[in-house]
Structure 1
């Protein structure tokens, strides 16, 4: 038996919000560019606020600022992508103007003549039990008989939680739990939980009104293991649709973020949508009164309830305020003259344009031109063998990854990038004293086991270090003699030779095998020991594919 005695982090977060525990003023932000998406922070913290996110340059990690428990264990390890900012007590970020929800007509669902059964499916730590309490209070204020049940089992933060709510204008039969097939309404705060077989059993294709959030909240396995992916949204929705008379869905977390600047009110967007769809047959004024009785973020939650109603009754207005604004920053691409004489098109061209521009920033135009020429050679060989472009696309990604390895110069450049500074301000508007959390190799060799913080006065040193990229790969590069840097250069040379060999045999040696080999650099993630461990996995897979490689 293993007993782990510790204050529940989710409960500590609630108590801090209520003022019964001291507030922690340090906030953690991840630099997406520096992040390798290795998953080590998830392993170290076992925290569901450390969330994977897919980007142009592969899987990365972000911190969900709304649900973060501020225990800071995610910063353990060697990853240099973490920065912290401090919230000054009493100082609040300027309030942004929030859109006012439109007035919509109440749904016409007539008088309540039978017992209404509502099933709520979500995850721990996100307020599902609170929502059930609010709805039960609303039913009581409306003069109805009410029974409810919350099943949280052994769920921790982001573990499955389901709630049952039954209300009627007459006496209820003595059961606070729904029976299979009896749900008049299913509110899927979390689609994975709702589509579990035992939860789908409550639905009824002849009467159930389902409202689902398509937000993707990772499970513990997804945070812990970078190979585990979220299921396809379409397949999950199809499962829920089979047990529903009607199904409406939208990304509640993303909508709340756009409307309120955080995701805390997302639940009541769904409640509003459930009410407007006729699945939640309670008076709107009773629901809003119950939100006031609950006493937490009353204005935001009432606004969310009303916007949720608009999501059904005035979809154009809802879409206008919840669709993220397009970035005014155009993607940087390499100059057109560098592509003179190239013939690649489509996705391969797009990949190369973006990555060649990054290589100019990483090192030089010369390195970028070499990259372009190598992908062109692969493209030419591929055209002689097939019309498919998978191989050239995989090479465009893999060659870039091994070329632009993240040494001290590159990490420094990415950390002081003005675009990242602006990103930190957008995530934590009131944050000050931006501090980089780093574990320099020289200090690690000297025995230091924890990261150091480089505050604002030290930022100039990182800017100077970023300028040192001209030393990269020369005899004057002090970091180039480290084992990891030597291995990184060997990987690049080995990959270039391997791709050249594969290009010559595409027509005869198995195209799909070549594509898999070319895409393998994505396995190599992380920093220091984490990276070296993943390199071994990379080498092992190469050998399984009958590719000879150098031991590191």
Structure 2
């Protein structure tokens, strides 16, 4: 039941995995015999790698009696394939055990494994996630922006969102909630643009190394090497189309990241050497423009123009990617912004006349 993106995600960045409808359709087609397990999470938990998902699933469905082949035939096929035979056989047998006793029942048998320390994956049980409240969203983004820059920067974000929440509007509570949530999400996205300081901070964060150690055996620098493919605007060469060319950097970049992350306070100041590029100036301008939009919406949004107001608030979500890809998406978003602003202001004027 793990969600795996399809090719649709490549052509449609807003594509969302239709988990609920997919499960519903399967249940309707198969009936009561339909079962869901997160085989990928179980493979990672039990065997350390998602690559063993398929043999684990094979063991599961064989134990259920859904594969008309003998146990000996399947074991022999795995042996003849001659690829990670021991691990694939173990995955097959784990799948059988899960089918027989359920995902949670295998946990006591995991003595000495990573699974004993972390427990069975959450996906082994059906968890109903409650939607995040607006207050929780604002608080989470404020914490993120504090780490990104500082508390004053986060306060600027919180004040802007509160201005739309406290303004007097002749719109329904549901519309007001949708508008405020759109602003809370998209303003945070614009304010936390991925510049050199932020990239450095994320790599320097101990959580990055912890994730590496949890996913791979050994230690970085000893048992495996880290390589980074970067295109710093001040250093990278350009191709014949003017696009920056990424270059490989070695493990020493981790030291550079830790050092650079300490200078995030220079962001946006006269001493910010990275902030003088056209791309960084553009990103700061997007933040200023959006804050100006929020002020305008707080003053004039009403029941007549709430629809274009919400569309305007959500517009930054269309600005995706990096480099020339982001430039193309931004150009399209700017055109749509002009159209939506004309519509918003026109309907605001009509409401005043009425």
TM-score by length of 1: 0.52
Specify the alignment match of 2:287 in structure 1.
492
Where structure 2 has 5 or more consecutive residues not aligned to the other structure, the ranges are 108-114, 124-131, 345-354
Matched residue SS, 1:453: strand
Does 257-266 or 418-427 show the bigger shift?
418-427
- Give CA-to-partner distance per residue, 1:150-183, whole Å, 9 cap, x none: xxxxxxxxxxxxxxxxxxxxxxxxxxxxxxxxxx
> Cα gap change, 1:288/1:382 in structure 2, threshold over 3 Å: closer, same or farther?
farther
- In structure 1, the partner of 2:95 is 308
The match for 1:274 among 37, 40, 61 is: 61
What CA distance in whole angstroms lies between the structure 1 residues aligned with 2:77 and 2:277? 62
Aligned residues: 316
| Contact persistence 2:238–2:244 (CA under 8 A) | no
Counterparts of 2:58 and 2:229, CA distance in 1: 41
Query: Cα RMSD over matched residues?
Result: 2.9
Counting strand residues as a fraction of each chain, which structure ranks higher? 1
> RCO (CA 8 Å, sep 6+): is it higher in 1 or 2?
1
1:411 Cα offset (Å): 1.8
Identify unmatched segments of 5+ residues in structure 1: 1-213, 327-345
For 2:84, the equivalent position in structure 1 comes to 297
CA distance in 2: counterparts of 1:435 and 1:410, whole angstroms: 18
- Which residue in 2 is equivalent to 1:10? none
Partner of 2:74: 287
Q: Is the CA contact (8 Å cut-off) linking 1:371 and 1:399 kept in structure 2? A: yes
Instruction: Label 1:486 to 1:216 Cα distance change in 2 as closer, same or farther (>3 A).
Output: same
Per the alignment, residue 222 of structure 1 pairs with 9
SS at match of 1:437: strand
Do the aligned residues in 2 keep the contact of 1:479 with 1:485 (CA within 8 Å)? Answer: yes
Distance apart, 1:258 and its partner CA = 1.6
Q: How does 1:140-539 map to 2 (within 5 A)?
A: 214-230=1-17, 232-244=18-30, 246-317=33-104, 320=107, 323-324=120-121, 347-381=133-167, 385-388=171-174, 389-430=177-218, 431=220, 432-444=224-236, 450-539=245-334
Q: Report if aligned partners of 2:149, 2:264 keep a CA contact under 8 Å in 1.
A: yes
Asked if structure 1 preserves the Cα contact closer than 8 Å seen for 2:311 and 2:340, the reply is no
- Higher helix share goes to which structure? 2
Give the direction of change, closer, same or farther, for the CA distance of 1:285–1:307 in structure 2 (3 Å limit): same
Looking at structure 2, the residues matched to 313 and 457 of structure 1 have their Cα atoms a distance apart, in angstroms, of 49
CA contact (8 A) 2:233 2:244 kept: no
Q: Are residues 1:542 and 2:329 paired? A: no
Give the SS at the match of 2:336.
helix
Shift of 1:539: 0.9
Preserved CA contact (<8 Å) 1:382 1:392? no
